Amino acid sequence: MKSIHLRPGRPLLGASTRSWAGLLACCAVLVALLGAAFAHQTTADWLDNAVDSPIIAWFSRHPGLALRLASPGSLMPAGVLSAAVVVSCLLAGRLNGAVLAAAAVPAAVGLNDGLLKHLVHRTYLGVLSYPSGHTAALSALAAVVTVLLLVSPGSAKAAAPRAAIAAAAWVLGCVVAVAVIGLRWHYFTDTLAGAAVGIGTVCGLALVLDLPAARRLLAVASRQRAAATAGAGAANQAPEPLT
């Protein structure tokens, strides 16, 4: 069986770190401003009413559809999709990509559900709703796919398929966002903030993984694994002692 040679990987964000830091700041500002505006709110504002009402009315004519469409944003499906990205990165030898894919969804959901929902305490039908955790999870996954396939692909080959995969990930995220509105789990502005949490989390993680210290740690880890693999291979090929 052919061994997998892990490398720290190309920098995830290349030379565009300043732009991604700016995007992270924009996401943080959006979440903070909306959170301040809707803190402890229990009803929809005019914008949410305008966007949510037709969506809720449409899904009311298609019972069960919204729940099926929202399911990819749940913990298990999002985890399976993330695991598939992690495995793909490991097979390609991109250790930093695997770490990003493994950490993005748990970090986004943890920040979203563990901190922000309780901090803002906006409710929908008595349940904490701001920001949307389903939207945060799928936006984080889509942002990871975008970074890996479009920001740091390392080759101009197969650009169209990579772009199609990234676009499909974002379409799935939008479908989930619309579905949770139709289920009356979230207001429209909850999904906006959820998307900002997911995107901002990936920006922050990628910026950290591109730091020199993080790249050195990944390089050490990849060398240790290579040494361990080489040692195991040598032990397996050693001749049996004569008896």
Could you read off the pLDDT of 75-112 as tens digits, one per residue? Answer: 899 999 999 999 999 998 889 999 999 999 999 999 99
Residue 13: pLDDT band (50, 70, 90) is confident
pLDDT tens column, 162-219: 999 999 999 999 999 999 999 999 999 999 999 999 999 999 999 999 999 998 998 8
Provide the mean pLDDT of the chain: 89
The answer to whether the CB of 184 falls within 8 A of the CB of 126 is: no
Q: What is the pLDDT of residue 222?
A: 74
What is the C-alpha to C-alpha distance for residues 6 and 86, in angstroms, rounded to an integer? 12
User: Model pTM?
Assistant: 0.88
Residues 103 and 213: their CA atoms lie apart, in Å, by 18
Mean pLDDT of 146-167: 83
